[in-house]
Amino acid sequence: MYRDRIGLTSLWGKVVGAEEAAMHIKDGMVVGMSGFTRAGDAKVVPMALAERATEEKLKITLMTGASLGSDIDRTLAQAGCLSRRIPFQADPTLRKSINAGEVMFVDQHLSETVEMLRSRQMAPIDVAVIEAVAITPEGGIIPTTSIGNSASFAILAEKIIVEINLHQSLDLIGLHDVYIPTRRPHREAIPITSPSDRVGLPYIPVDPSKIAAIVITEKLDSSANIAPPDAETSAIADHLVQFFRGEVRKGRIGTSLLPLQAGIGSIANAVLHGFIDSPFHDLTMYSEVLQDSTFELFDADKLAFASGSSMTLSGPKGKEVFADINRYKDRLVLRPQEISNHPEVIRRLGIIAINTALEADIYGNVNSTHVNASMMMNGIGGSGDFARNAYLSVFVTKSVAKDGRISSIVPMVTHVDHCEHDVDIIVTERGLADLRGLAPRERAHLVINHCMHPDYQDLARDYLKDALARGGHTPHVMERAFEWHLAFQQSGSMLPLAKAAE
């Protein structure tokens, strides 16, 4: 019975349907919704909102932790309900609206959103819509499979709508650690010195009088689309394992390495999976998203503890893990994303950050977000939080895409998310380039020789030869820097016609 999950009895009368709850949201409002990479998102109030938007003028600014599941972004975009979206998304329909200029997308580092809200650098939250497993007798909100930005949204909002999801197990209670940084300029240090530290509360503390409505749901999180490891991602993992073996031999790190972070997606997940057969043990994670590989490492007795902001799992792995969450619970913690991604903590713990690049150039600049300079894919997410502050910043990608018609290593990236100063290691299935301590001219030769697909190496060497003849600290031929991208736009391949026909 749902009342068992509402510990504060004075809130029982707040239970309403999704349509009635959604009426608290008006045209022009700023709405903060729970959800971080398909996990722990509000599921029925957004759909009721989209339905209203088809019948009346209703446009909102939508803030979340990261991407949403349950087709929420798609449905809201199709209904014309979104005027602005912050800070990350991964939906093809919404992406189309963003690239058409119909929805204004603010692509932010995931650690920054609530910092800007708290300091009133952005418009305040009018209504927060938060999925919960339960409400405490004091009115505290216990999140489900993610925290993301939910805590600060709820604390800062004028009103709160709570979706209590009866499908989510009560065994999730105790998994969360809600710590909110103190105010600037006299902020205290965040007291985390190990991934396993718990420094906050197991619920979101709010004034219960702000809870305007409670909606009961029983909908599942959307499962992640995680491809299994293939020959190329396994090769990337092997290159990294060999690199870390060398770091251990040199005495730079121990056999437990340093806390690991891995970005969302199949490539990063597969790379972590490769650590199962490595010589490393007693690993720890301090990351944002805990994917299938986290629990595979637990089951292989390789991982000792994992800290994240969400658990985003494939369908089969989700059924397995959530049916037996108590088996992992004492080795897990979920935190607000401003803590999981906080530069202070990342720098203190010495994180090894492993993130995915759309493309990288021969000097080590990385593009994570844009296709051909202009077209947004998903967003920078948390990769910048980690890349700038990590002990080691690693970017992984397959060397080619679209059946070899696109090289992921190019003379110059068309958009820079992570500049050369924030990139230590680039890895493809071809090899690994350790860029630490190297000047741009040295980096270029290493990236071409170790990371680029053979079909493109001669083209890159020809470009670099001409660039070196021009001179400069970071040599380029400006009129040729994007010729590979232009060739793809014109012919559907970055390769010259004769080469592509071979």
Q: Point out the residues that are catalytic.
A: 288
Q: What share of the chain is helix, strand, coil (3-state, %, to 5)?
A: 35, 20, 45
Binding-site residues for CoA sit at: 378, 382, 402
Report the C-alpha gap between 107 and 86 in whole angstroms: 7
H/E element, 451: helix 440-451
Q: Which residue has the tokens 């349950």?
A: 70
Report which of 500, 482, 479, 502 is spatially closest to residue 491, judged by C-alpha positions.
500
User: Which residues 6+ apart lie within 8 Å of 43 measured at CB?
Assistant: 70, 72, 131, 163, 165, 217, 219
Binding residues: 378, 382, 402
Gyration radius of the chain's alpha carbons: 23
Each as own residue / partner, the long-range contacts of residues 178-183 (CB below 8 Å, 24 or more positions apart, any chain) are 178/147, 178/151, 178/202, 178/203, 178/204, 178/205, 178/335, 178/336, 179/335, 179/336, 179/339, 180/151, 180/152, 180/155, 180/336, 181/338, 181/339, 181/342, 183/118
Quick check: helix, strand or coil at residue 402?
Answer: coil
Rounded CA gap, 263 and 281, in Å? Answer: 21
Strands 159-165 and 141-142: unpaired
Neighbouring residues of 257: CB distance < 8 A, sequence distance ≥ 6: 244, 280, 283, 352
